[in-house]
Amino acid sequence: MIQYYITEGNRIRQADELTEGMWVKMTAPSEEEAKFIGEKLNVDPEDLLAAADREEKTRIELFDDYTLMFIDIPSKEVRNEQEHYTTIPLGIILCTDHLITICSEDPRVLEGLTRNKYRDAYTYRKRNFVYHILLEVAMLYQEDLRSIDRQRRQIEEQIGNKVTREEDLIKLHNLESTLVYFDTSLRENGKVIGRIKRYHRLGPHPEDEELIGDAIVENQQAIEMTEIYRGIISGTRELMSAVLDNQLNNVMKILTSITLVLAVPTVISGLYGMNVDGRWMPLANTPYGFGIIVVIAALICIVLLAILKKRGML
Biggest alpha carbon–alpha carbon distance for the chain: 115
* Alpha helix (H) residue ranges in the chain: 31-41, 45-50, 111-114, 126-160, 166-198, 209-272, 289-310
Going along the chain from its start, the domains and CATH numbers come out as: 2-246 (3.30.460.20), 249-310 (1.20.58)
Sheet holding 99-103, edge to edge: 11-15, 2-8, 23-27, 99-103, 82-94, 67-79, 59-62
Dist. CA 166–CA 118, nearest whole Å: 44
Between residues 190 and 280, which one has the greater pLDDT? 190
pLDDT band (50, 70, 90) for residue 145:
very high
Tell if the pTM clears 0.85, that is, is over it: no
Interior angle at CA 28, CA 22 and CA 34, nearest 5: 60
Residue-level pLDDT at 205? 67
Residue-level pLDDT at 146? 92
pLDDT per position as a tens digit, 224-253: 999 998 888 888 877 777 777 877 888 888
Interior angle at CA 133, CA 131 and CA 136, nearest 5: 110
User: What's the mean pLDDT in 87-110?
Assistant: 86
For the chain, give the mean pLDDT.
82
Dist. CA 186–CA 171, nearest whole Å: 22
pLDDT per position as a tens digit, 27-86: 888 888 888 888 888 888 888 888 777 778 888 888 888 888 898 888 887 776 677 888
pLDDT band (50, 70, 90) for residue 220:
very high
Dist. CA 14–CA 16, nearest whole Å: 7
pLDDT band (50, 70, 90) for residue 221:
very high
